[in-house]
């Protein structure tokens, strides 16, 4: 294994740890959230190990580390707010952030102060490391909003919307703060047909039935179609190992694939997921074709108002 391979493996491992942490926080009482601090600590060790080996001219990897550290700190703050303070607002599904100044109202003992300060510090460092990433200013906005810094939160959310005008969470957060001015692009101007991201990547979405009327959804991003297929195949293999009847799978699981290239129409397989089979037809896909410019290993992607983490190594 080369040094680059080892670095990439650490970054992808860190990304998968962030994914697991985010999932556990999203499902709350249904999962073991006590392990989240350990998962985040392991992700931090991965980022620190990469940072120690960084060359001075490797700005892209440095940016991935900075974004990862910001995301780690944001999840740590989120866990403190949800688990230790039991705040009654939704941060778990990504549909919104905290109300302005909730820290003062809900955290009389200051349990979240250190987490909030760390989230702000790492987000600002990541803003400098990657001036184009739309996830970081959103995370900064949430931390500042929780802390009660209205002006800072408004500026951060506005920057998130500038970087990704289709992010409804940033838009709704600005509206909640009364700052959705006329200079903000209309939501209808962004129909989601073209990828707004700066990198090319494959996105695999897994929709699983959890009740007669409800589905859970998770999306992971990959730097190649090959890696995306390995992930989809592992999902189907786990269903086989779980004893599911193959005939029942179409009613329980749907897999869809999206190919994103900067400024180009998003290619979806199946083209109409709701009307199609649960399986992805890989026969017409260029699995060996590189996606350019490739998504940096382990980099989370903020797209269409959703944070998508890098899939694990298979």
Any idea where the domains of the chain sit in the sequence? 3-185, 201-310
Residue 279 Rama label (left phi>0; alpha psi -120 to 50; beta):
beta
Residue 105 corresponds to which tokens in the numbers above? 């109202």
Nearest to 137 by CA among 185, 179, 100, 170: 170
Statement: residue 179 has pLDDT above 80: yes
Q: Write down the pLDDT at residue 77.
A: 95
Q: How far apart, in whole angstroms, are the C-alpha atoms of residue 194 and residue 170?
A: 19
Q: Which residues of 109-141 are buried (b: 16+ CB within 10 A; e: fewer)?
A: eeebeebbebbbebbbbbbebbeebbbbbbbbb
Residue 90 corresponds to which tokens in the numbers above? 């939704």
Query: pLDDT tens digit string along 261-271?
Result: 998 999 888 76
Q: For the chain, first and last CA: distance in Å? A: 16
143 within 8 A of 135, measured Cβ to Cβ? no
Statement: residue 184 has pLDDT above 70: no
* Across 34-42, average pLDDT: 96
Query: pLDDT tens digit string along 134-145?
Result: 999 999 999 999
The H or E element spanning position 204 is: strand 201-209
Domain spanning 3-185: which CATH class is it, in words? mainly alpha
Chain length of the chain:
314
Q: How far apart, in whole angstroms, are the C-alpha atoms of residue 250 and residue 172?
A: 35
Statement: residue 41 has pLDDT above 60: yes
How do beta strands 306-310 and 215-222 pair? parallel
Residue 307 Rama label (left phi>0; alpha psi -120 to 50; beta):
beta
Quick one: pLDDT band at residue 3, thresholds 50, 70, 90?
Answer: confident
């Amino acid at each position: 294994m080369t040094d680059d391979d080892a670095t990439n493996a650490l970054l992808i491992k860190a990304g998968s740890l962030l994914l697991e942490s985010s999932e556990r926080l999203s499902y709350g009482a249904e999962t073991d959230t006590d392990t989240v601090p350990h998962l985040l600590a392991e992700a931090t060790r991965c980022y620190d190990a990469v940072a120690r080996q960084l060359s001075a001219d490797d700005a892209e990897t440095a940016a991935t580390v900075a974004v990862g550290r910001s995301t780690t700190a944001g999840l740590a703050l989120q866990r403190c707010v949800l688990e230790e303070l039991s705040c009654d607002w939704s941060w778990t599904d990504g549909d919104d952030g905290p109300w302005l100044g909730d820290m003062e109202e809900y955290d009389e003992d200051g349990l979240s102060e250190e987490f909030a300060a760390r989230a702000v510090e790492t987000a600002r460092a990541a803003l400098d490391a990657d001036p184009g990433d739309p996830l970081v200013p959103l995370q900064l906005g949430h931390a500042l909003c929780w802390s009660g810094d209205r002006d800072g939160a408004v500026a951060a959310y506005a920057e998130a919307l500038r970087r990704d005008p289709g992010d409804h969470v940033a838009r709704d957060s600005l509206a909640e703060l009364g700052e959705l001015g006329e200079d903000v692009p209309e939501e209808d101007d962004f129909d989601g047909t073209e990828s707004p991201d700066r990198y090319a990547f494959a996105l695999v979405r897994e929709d699983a039935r959890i009740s007669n009327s409800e589905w859970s959804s998770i999306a992971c991003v990959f730097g190649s179609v090959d890696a995306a297929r390995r992930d989809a195949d592992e999902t189907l293999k786990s269903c086989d190992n779980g004893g599911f009847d193959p005939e029942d799978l179409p009613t329980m699981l749907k897999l869809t694939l999206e190919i994103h290239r900067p400024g180009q129409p998003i290619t979806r397989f199946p083209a109409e997921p709701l009307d199609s089979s649960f399986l992805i037809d890989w026969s017409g896909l260029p699995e060996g074709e590189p996606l350019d410019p490739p998504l940096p290993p382990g980099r989370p992607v903020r797209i269409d108002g959703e944070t998508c983490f890098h899939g694990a190594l298979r």
